[in-house]
Amino acid sequence: MAAAPAAEGGEAAGGGLLQFMPLVFMVAIFYFIMIRPQQRREKERKAMIAAVKSGERVLLSSGIIGEVCTVKEKTLIVRIAENTKVEVLKSAVSQIIEKGETPNDVKA
């Protein structure tokens, strides 16, 4: 009597596929909530870094604010004080500070 329900094999194949649907649905939600927005932010960040020009004020990831003096292929020369210039990677730029904006207005 206990073996009678196991003999029906046609329903087991369809039922197994339905069991994976919630997992597939959760992976899709995870992709659209977490991965896609991160890819978009990274694309915007790369565009911002590529657009850095000499003379612009930048906020570095270390919290230092300076003015870009020279733009090289992978680095920037940033003046952080009178007679003080440092060479930093372009990836260290976290924000370009617009003219008239003060450090208190900067959203880091």
pLDDT of 11 higher than 80: no
- List, in order, residues 6 or more apart from 52 with CB less than 8 Å away: 58, 68, 71, 76, 90, 93, 96
Of all residues in the chain, the percent with pLDDT exceeding 70 is: 80
Residue span of the structural domain in which 93 resides? 53-105
Determine which of 20-24, 77-81, 86-90 has the lowest per-residue pLDDT on average. 20-24
Residue 36 CA: distances (Å) to CA of 21, 43, 73, 87: 21, 11, 28, 33
SS3 47: helix
Query: Rounded to an integer, what distance in angstroms lies between the CA atom of residue 78 and that of residue 49?
Result: 14
- For the chain, what is the domain count? 2
**Claim to verify: residue 71 and residue 99 sit in the same structural domain:** yes
CATH at residue 62: 2.30.30.100
Task: Assess if residue 34 is contained within a domain.
Answer: yes
Question: What's the pLDDT tens digit per position in 37-60?
Answer: 999 999 999 999 999 999 999 999
**Claim to verify: residue 61 and residue 41 sit in the same structural domain:** no
Question: What is the distance between the terminal CA atoms of the chain, rounded to a whole angstrom?
Answer: 69
pLDDT of 14 higher than 80: no
Give the pLDDT of residue 100. 77
| Residue whose structure tokens are 């260290």 | 92
Question: What's the pLDDT tens digit per position in 54-67?
Answer: 999 999 999 999 99
